[in-house]
Structure 1
Amino acid sequence: MTDFTNQTAIVTGGAQGIGRAVANRLAKDGARIAIWDRDEALGREAAQEIGGGAFACAVDVADWASVEAAMKSTLDTTGRADILVNSAGIAGSNGPLADYPVDEFRLITEINLLGTFHVNRSVVPAMTAQSYGRIVNIASVAGKEGNPNASAYSASKAGVIGLTKSLGKELADKDIAVNCVTPAAARTRIFDQMAQEHIDYMLSKIPRGRFLELDEAAAMIAWLCSKENSFTTASVFDLSGGRATY
């Protein structure tokens, strides 16, 4: 079902976390991986470990010029962009909205939402020209339900859901699927940005009674990236262990 032979997959935030797990899975199934990550050294290390012609581009998704340059480099290297998995993002600190630092709220929005816009905007022309593409944006169950003391993160991920639905409808007459997933928390380095109280809160809301495993996320995302996913677009796929109420 997930044969990606001769396909190029761009994975933002692909040096670690869900992005790295997805990059590993897509490469295993034949894709050539372009890791777009702000941490250039970690991205190059990941590309070397993945192999199969994988390469890394240093990218700040919040900076349109940086994204444009990465897209040009990727097309110069591979000639095509079949898959985008947009996993780059930050959680930010936890605190009530009335006290939340204005500059930090802006930064989280710029990376999580504006960054998603930049990356999607950069790949759509290439996918349209080749009459094929699969885009998966990583949102969050927080974007559906809103986590207390995480207004910036929740709002930015809600925006990712809305952007995905909009773009999916724009491209629905083409063989370009645009979907997103809404994971519950997984144990990644993003936990380093969160208070333990907030981590405990998130776990308490998951009926499965545990956090998401990275390979579980990669399995669902791989199918959404495949040719088998030929009909569903502008949709949201749950990875919340039963937490989501819609």
Structure 2
Amino acid sequence: MTSPVFEGRFRDKVLVVTGAAQGIGLAVATRAVAEGGRVLFVDRAEFVHDIVADLATEKAAAFVADLETYQGAEAVMRHAAEQFGGIDILINNVGGAIRMRPYEAFEAEQVDAEIRRSLMPTLYCCHAVLPHLFERGAGTIVNVSSNATRGIHRVPYSAAKGGINGLTQSLAMEVAERNIRVVATAPGGTEAPARRVPRNAAGDTAEEQAWMRDVVAQVKQSSFMKRYGTLSEQVAPILFLASDEASYITGSILPVAGGDLG
């Protein structure tokens, strides 16, 4: 299933998309360019520069940053404003479970790593972008959460995504009077090309691979549609919420998981 491109939907808009070198983030950023936006593709992977070079358009730029640090988030927003003259939309897509295992099998440092990966980049980027949106007099933040706030073998990741949901709702209430919307999608399992940067750099043990199979089975069983979604099925609601079509939606978390509300 391929989503239609709405020509000009993001004309005159500057978007920052994090985690833009692969998966949902890459698909979101690429389609935003096709719809007229000027987009900063942000990732920790150096090959994000190659991706943008292949697009061969002045509407796209690349920036490498470690968003698990506040300094990285601040540098991203500063660069976007310098490159494109301001920021209108931030799409926070960095995150992803590193390990799949029962909670009792997690070590303390592994718990910390999951929170750093899947909560802190969004928390930091939301804070770092606010001065730029205030200067603009308006703006939109779309956080990519997860329906895995209910799921097996990833409790720290679930907690991180629950934090993103709380952040979305509280910040939306706080900045609405500044003409800034804060919303989120909660994707379920998604079919995507093989990752160029592995989820777990250390590799999965045979036991962890078995736990991963349990997760896949649970995700599909929990979905009314009994399947994973496609990239297009995740991109469409993210960009709808980012667009002016969603101008009366804020503080909402939209499940995109085939009926599984998480």
- TM-score interval, normalised by the smaller of the two chains: over 0.9
> Structure 1: 5+ residue runs without aligned partners?
none
Identify if the C-alpha distance between structure 1 residues 155 and 31 changes in structure 2 by more than 3 Å, giving closer, same or farther.
same
2:227 matched residue in structure 1: 210
Cα distance in 2 for residues equivalent to 1:200 and 1:48? 38
Counterpart code for 1:162: G
> Structure 2: 5+ residue runs without aligned partners?
1-5, 201-208
1:219 matched residue in structure 2: 236
Aligned pairs for 1:92-241 within 5 A: 92-143=98-149, 146-188=150-192, 189=194, 193=200, 195-241=212-258
What SS class does the counterpart of residue 183 from structure 2 fall into?
A: strand
What SS class does the counterpart of residue 173 from structure 1 fall into?
A: helix
Whether the 8 Å contact between 1:32 and 1:52 is mirrored in structure 2 is: no
2:50 matched residue in structure 1: 45
What SS class does the counterpart of residue 110 from structure 1 fall into?
A: helix
What SS class does the counterpart of residue 21 from structure 1 fall into?
A: helix
Aligned pairs for 1:53-72 within 5 A: 53=58, 54-72=60-78
Cα distance in 1 for residues equivalent to 2:214 and 2:78? 43
C-alpha displacement of 1:134: 1.1
- Asked if residue 36 in structure 1 is aligned to residue 42 in structure 2, the reply is yes
Cα distance in 2 for residues equivalent to 1:79 and 1:60? 23
Q: Deviation per CA, 1:183-217, whole angstroms, max 9, x where unpaired?
A: 10112347965622222221121111211111111
Counterpart among 83, 92, 100 of residue 86 in structure 1: 92
1:244 matched residue in structure 2: 261
What SS class does the counterpart of residue 232 from structure 1 fall into?
A: coil
Whether the 8 Å contact between 1:7 and 1:31 is mirrored in structure 2 is: yes
**What's the TM-score, normalizing by structure 1?**
0.93
C-alpha displacement of 1:8: 1.0
Identify if the C-alpha distance between structure 1 residues 51 and 219 changes in structure 2 by more than 3 Å, giving closer, same or farther.
farther
Q: Deviation per CA, 1:81-115, whole angstroms, max 9, x where unpaired?
A: 11111111121111121221211211110121111
What SS class does the counterpart of residue 246 from structure 2 fall into?
A: coil
Counterpart code for 1:152: P
**What's the TM-score, normalizing by structure 2?**
0.87
Deviation beyond 4 Å, 4+ runs, structure 1: 189-194
Cα distance in 2 for residues equivalent to 1:31 and 1:169? 27
Cα distance in 1 for residues equivalent to 2:54 and 2:63? 15
Matched residue count: 242
Whether the 8 Å contact between 2:98 and 2:199 is mirrored in structure 1 is: no
